[in-house]
Structure formats: structure tokens, C-alpha cells
Structure 1
Amino acid sequence: MPTKFSQSASALNTLAPRLLDWFETDGRHDLPWQQHQTDT
């Protein structure tokens, strides 16, 4: 019988790849903390 923890881990294992795919195509990539810092 699955435990609540194993069900949560399974849900995260399926959510993470879908979330990363979404971010790659539709996520915001222009936020200030995501920009490369230049040496000044």
C-alpha cells in the first residue's frame, strides 16, 4: 500500500519535468536576477 510520502514523491517526479518544459517554452527569462552579470 503506498504511503502518503511515496504518493507525494511520485507527484513531484511527474510535476518537475512538466514544469521545466513549461518554463523553457513559456517562462519568464528576462527577470533581472536571471541576467548574466558583467565584470565592471
Structure 2
Amino acid sequence: ALVHADNNISQAAKLLGVTRPTLYTLFSKYDINGHEGTV
């Protein structure tokens, strides 16, 4: 979703149907670095 949203966290969250804070929680849970858009 980050790639499709050009690494925009808010847009990626909207695409996934979650809130931005929820997306950050998921990043932490699955050890994803959202700022770089890498897994």
C-alpha cells in the first residue's frame, strides 16, 4: 500500500481502510519500517 501511495502513510492507511495510528501499530507489530517503505 505504501508503494501505491508514494510512501504517504495517511494515503496508505486510507487504501487499507485503517487509521494512521493503526497502521503505525501494525508497522511495529510486524517490524516494518514505514518511513522507508521497506519490509
TM band (smaller chain) = 0.3 to 0.5
Whose radius of gyration is greater, 1 or 2?
Answer: 1
TM-score, normalised by the number of residues in structure 1: 0.35
Q: Which has the higher contact order (CA 8 A, sep 6+)?
A: 2
**If each structure's helix is expressed as a fraction of its own residues, which one has the higher value?**
1
